[in-house]
Amino acid sequence: MSYHRAPWPATRMRRMRKDDFSRRLMRENTLTVDDLIYPVFVLDGEQRTEAVPSMPGVERKSIDLLVAEARELAELGVPAMALFPVTPAEVKSLDAAEAWNPEGLAQRATRAIKAAVPHMGVITDVALDPFTTHGQDGILDDDGYVLNEATVTALVKQALSHADAGADMVAPSDMMDGRIRAIRQALEEQGHTLTRIMAYSAKYASAYYGPFRDAVGSAANLGKADKTTYQMDPANSDEALHEIGLDLAEGADVVMVKPGMPYLDVVRRVKDEFRVPVYAYQVSGEYAMHMAAFQNGWLDQDKVMMESLLAFKRAGADGILTYFAKAAAVKLAGRG
């Protein structure tokens, strides 16, 4: 460690910390509403909401209610929503064909939100797990292995149907090889040259996704199976750089690291290495842990929520997908 200034008493680190004005003047990172993306769960029907027990404060909502939500979020300045459909069991199948149904929940929700609130960014999830009877993100062979190419072919159809519905950004979260290239090529060929791709590039095989799988209703389908043959090993971070380099070369506009807080070291490495837009996802399990502590009075809700989000900025994230997006936006607007 080399110091560019003489040590104490010439340097007293506490001088700058003494007053609010000087603390503000040396602040390195700031969280603003521009950093926030709000993930929402889309339910069939009208005027319908359902609580998600493992995610207190989060509700699945029918499209009409999500349109109202989009208006509120736009008013708060939140730039984008990420849509996750809750697929009815009767339309799940082995080939996940509901994923590219133009009248599917994600497609209808996209059209409704874009029609009502045109400047709200709509991000759609490109993956098959809400649509398969087994809850895996792809098409299986006879041994239960997720087939790469067959799955990519399905993902391309799904991404195109989202772009046709007006999605601003498609977000492949499946971790198949080569899917970014295939989706980019298809989007270009179909005239969707400006549809952005947010790649879940470094997506780990994480147990922190548990509450999300409850929320979209894939937990029961998946059972005791895991996703370790396609999602990354939590032990690795060089591999994350490898994945990100490939997705950028294949045409990703934004790359993402997921989960968030336990993986901030990965966010930092990615930002330092590539200098491109990097998002991070504070996932359902991270939200659930926080809410459990807040509801027990063990942690201060507002302070810890804002601290957790600022930590993403410090790590180098340009955007944060978080179930706290709305509450944080309210607070940032001085209304909370």
227 catalytically annotated: no
Backbone phi, psi, residue 9, to 5°: -95, -5
Task: Enter the DSSP assignment of 262.
Answer: G
Strand partners, 198: 254
H-run or E-run covering 107: helix 105-116
Smallest gap, in angstroms, from Cβ of residue 334 to ligand PBG? Answer: 28
Q: Which is nearer to ligand PBG, 151 or 195 (CB)?
A: 151
Q: Are 172 and 179 in contact (CB under 8 A)?
A: yes
Q: Which is nearer to ligand PBG, 97 or 116 (CB)?
A: 97
How far apart CA 82 and CA 122 sit, in angstroms, is 6
Residue nearest to ligand PBG (CB): 212
Q: Are 240 and 257 in contact (CB under 8 A)?
A: yes
Smallest gap, in angstroms, from Cβ of residue 128 to ligand PBG? Answer: 8
Q: Which is nearer to ligand PBG, 19 or 226 (CB)?
A: 226
Smallest gap, in angstroms, from Cβ of residue 80 to ligand PBG? Answer: 15
How far apart CA 152 and CA 183 sit, in angstroms, is 8
Q: Which is nearer to ligand PBG, 209 or 316 (CB)?
A: 209
Interacting residues with ligand PBG (CB under 6 A): 125, 127, 129, 137, 173-174, 209, 212-213, 283-284
Smallest gap, in angstroms, from Cβ of residue 137 to ligand PBG? Answer: 5
Measure the CA dihedral 205/209/215/219, to 10°.
50
243 is in an annotated binding site: yes
Catalytic-role residue among 61, 114, 227, 258: 258
Task: Enter the DSSP assignment of 232.
Answer: B
18 catalytically annotated: no
Burial class of residue 233, CB neighbours in 10 A (0-12, 13-18, 19+): exposed
Catalytic-role residue among 92, 114, 203, 227: 203
Which residues form the catalytic set? 203, 258
Q: Which residues are annotated as a binding site?
A: 243
Q: Which residues are annotated as a binding site for Mg(2+)?
A: 243
